[in-house]
Structure 1
Amino acid sequence: MESKSSTKLYGIPEGKGPYSVGCTDLMTDYTIQGSFFRLYYPSQNGASSEETKWIPRKEYYRGLSDFLNMYRMLGETFFQYYVGSVTCPAKWNAAFKPGEKYPLIIFSHGLGAFRTIYSAICIEMASQGFIVVAVEHRDKSSSATYYHKENPGCEAQEEATENPNEEWIYYRKLKRSEQEFPLRNQQLQQRTEECIRALDLILDINNGNHVVNVLSLNFDWTLLKESIDTDRIAVMGHSFGAATAIKTLSKDTRFKGSVHQSFPDFTFLSGNFVGKIFRLKGEIDPNIAIDISNKASLAFLQKHLGLKKDFDQWDALVDGEGHNVIPGTNIDLPSTQPESLE
């Protein structure tokens, strides 16, 4: 029997909650100042059968190659072969499920990532009844991103390649002898503004305001009207995205809670050989690790957003109690006690 692709052995885990999950993209404005994010949300059952492509454009392969210090031609071939056919378990442009008030999460990705790379986390949250806005940052911390410079007309731009109306932005590496803090601080300020701008936009949609999607995707945004619980808004992030979450919390009081997630999607898609090369895998099974992380996050969110769910069953994980959980930190921190003078 002919073997299937590697996605049969390795795949992004499905959400474990009671809701079906859909996703779509939204890009506003024909400038770099516009918002760009992937939306994960509870969807109507059977609303779509179309699979969602995990990495939607080949330009992202080029960006990942740059970030990992690979030649672009080699990297593009490598990523196309290993993950080019990978889909994530959310239905593309599936109809949103109205009739409830859902808590909202704004999600910020880490360095070298982009809006689709944390779908395992975002899909799990959506399956548990959250609306998740996964922002794609344009501060040159993404491995790649883009915007439209002008109105592209009626073409389906998300399927286009080498489009002259698109401006691609790739990861900016530190220059030789350049200090890292000024660059990261500048990026952090921009990321924070992008998270707040995304929040403003999704709340405008919640209020029934019309939105123009530059990508011309077939999704009915009007179904989101009055579907967000505006008293329960959180910001989440991984790595540099965690720093973004903390900074965003300090600048906008609408956000009530934050949490640092641990794993991007690559850990589920790489075998042992590839995982060791790129340090994508730890010693623990990634499905066990993400399950622990997601449960702890849900317990944290219930506590700080005041949700009436059963996520408090995992409160012990937040306190560092449970199998494969380390209380406190496993990092050696410098002593805070002053040295004695002799």
Structure 2
Amino acid sequence: MGGAQSLALPPGKGPHQVGCTDVMVGHTQQGLFFRLFYPCVPRAGAEQPLWIPRREYFSGLADVTQRGRRWFSPLASLALGSCRVPVSWNGPFKPCSRGYPLIIFSHGLGAFRTLYSSVCLELASWGFVVASLEHRDHSASTTYFCPAEPGREEWIPFQQVPQGQKEFYFRKKQIHHRAEECVRALRLLQDVSRGESVPNVLHQDFDLSVLKDSIDVTKVAAVGHSFGGVTAVLALVKEPSFRCAVALDAWMFPLEHALYPEVPRPVLFINTEKFQTPDSIARMKRLSSRNSQTKIITILGTLHQSHTDLAFLTSKLLSLIFKARGTLDPCKCLDITSRAALAFLQRHLDLEEDFSQWEKLLEGIGDSLVPGAPFSRSHL
């Protein structure tokens, strides 16, 4: 079960090579932390970043899955600790005179900024700048910030719902925190695009100033999975610059009913077969009944984790622990997801691309795809 064989993420299929870097801004918990994926200039022998960037994340995953740290962390670290993402670490940014459209990506409950590398790098390969946030509302498996004193780090652990507290109120507070982080990430990248100096606490070999005039801040979308999917929906309420959202298997539970009439922009809901409930789908339909451009589709043969990198685990044991493997090939799921998203983004960001070739996917037409939610096929 060697590390190199335990995860196999596919390279992007788009015309651009992809680079990535980590960005941390501010020395407090109120700052921001995200991994940035972007089109880059190809270079021979480029270093590829680790998929799990720090061993602390293995302990965090043990806490989230409620497995014993003593056995889970070493097992996961041994199997996955050397796995890398097929992108160029701090690779030279490829300038774009008309500006790349921007995606702010929000992770699911118990995840972190690198667990969606497959979908983020795929979108970047088609000419997007993608900021994959690591949320600091205690919903990440773990995360950290760097106080101003040199060498110090403060870790923010994953938090279960406190005993005696109603889950809805706990999650509602988190989702607002998360959506506000999405807005702040957008503001930050707007500043960078204008040429303002933004110091990166992590001192990467990547100067954010190279992004000046290369992001089209009029073409911005929010994308997320699960808790991040509903975060992306709420981001539309909080910030008019977000022109649409793509919600991968959105967990609709934390969004308060009063906000549904406030969602001003279209949403593409891409669901898996085994996660959604009739109540959750009814909430999505409330939005689609208000906006004819909001679409709901379901990919057959998929589980909730099919939208994460965990679907690409080659270790059967880890795949079982994470409930990561549906019957549909994960590359096929990624193809459907990214192409549907690209067609939707073209439509609502007014992109000058040929992504409309995949428009039929938005109606649920295609292999392993149906419109709406196939509860007759689901175990729910």
Unmatched 5+ residue regions in structure 1?
153-162, 333-342
> Is 1:84 the equivalent of 2:81?
yes
For this pair of structures, how many residues does the alignment match? Answer: 318
Report the structure number with the largest CA radius of gyration.
1
Q: Which residue in 2 is equivalent to 1:38?
A: 35
User: What SS does structure 2 have at the residue aligned with 1:284?
Assistant: coil
Q: Is the 8 A contact 1:106 1:199 kept in 2?
A: yes
DSSP-derived class of the 2:217 partner: strand
Match of 2:161 among 151, 174, 189: 174
Structure 2 residue identity aligned to 1:319: E
Kindly provide the amino acid, as one letter, of the partner of residue 184 in structure 2.
R
d(CA) in 2 for partners of 1:104, 1:183: 30
Q: In structure 2, which of residues 17, 33, 54 is the aligned counterpart of residue 57 of structure 1?
A: 54
Deviation at residue 277 of structure 1 after TM alignment: 3.4
Whole-angstrom CA distance in 2 between matches of 1:19 and 1:300: 20
CA contact (8 A) 1:24 1:219 kept: yes
Runs of 4+ in 1 over 6 A off after TM superposition: none
More deviation, 288-297/168-177: 168-177
Distance 2:136 2:232 in 1: 16
Rounded to whole Å, the distance in 1 between the matches of 2:336 and 2:48 is 27
Q: Does 1:120 align with 2:164?
A: no
Question: Residue 47 of structure 1: CA displacement?
Answer: 7.2
Is 1:140 the equivalent of 2:138? yes
Equivalent position of 1:321 in the other structure: 365
Shift of 1:126: 0.4
SS at match of 1:256: strand
The TM-score normalised by the length of structure 1 is 0.90
Contact preservation (8 Å) 1:320, 1:326: yes
Aligned equivalent of 2:95, options 98, 101, 116: 98
Distance in 2 separating the partners of 1:146 and 1:94:
24
Greater mean alpha carbon deviation, residues 113-122 or residues 5-14: 5-14
Distance in 1, Cα, partners of 2:203 & 2:318: 36
Which runs of structure 2 are paired with 1:1-342 in the superposition (5 Å)?
A: 5=2, 7-8=4-5, 10-46=7-43, 49-100=46-97, 101-152=99-150, 165-261=152-248, 263-331=307-375
Instruction: Specify the SS of the correspondent of 1:145.
Output: strand
Q: Deviations over 1:78-110 (max 9, x none)?
A: 111111110011110011111331000000000
Shift of 1:230: 1.7
Distance in 1 between the 2:165 and 2:218 partners?
43
- Note closer, same or farther for the CA distance 1:195–1:270 as it changes in structure 2 (3 Å cut): same
Q: Is the alpha carbon distance of 1:255 and 1:82 closer, same or farther for their aligned partners in structure 2, counting shifts above 3 Å?
A: same
- Gaps spanning 5+ residues in structure 2: where? 250-306
Contact 2:179–2:235, Cα closer than 8 Å, also in 1 = yes
SS at the partner of 2:163?
Answer: coil
Describe the SS at the equivalent of 2:49: strand
Alpha-carbon distance between aligned partners in 2 of 1:319 and 1:36, rounded to the nearest angstrom: 35
Report which structure shows greater RCO (CA 8 Å, sep ≥6).
1
Which amino acid is 2:147 matched to?
A: K
Moved more, 5-14 or 47-56: 5-14
Give the letter aligned to residue 267 of structure 1.
Answer: A
- Could you tell me how far 1:238 is from its partner in structure 2? 0.4
Q: Name the TM-score, length of structure 2 as normaliser.
A: 0.81
User: CA-to-partner distance for each residue in 1:31-61, whole Å, 9 max, x for gaps?
Assistant: 0011111000000121761111111101111
Distance across 1 between alignment mates of 2:179 and 2:37: 20
What's the Cα RMSD here? 1.6
- Partner of 1:195: helix, strand, or coil? helix
2:281 corresponds in structure 1 to: none
What's the offset of the Cα at 1:310? 1.0
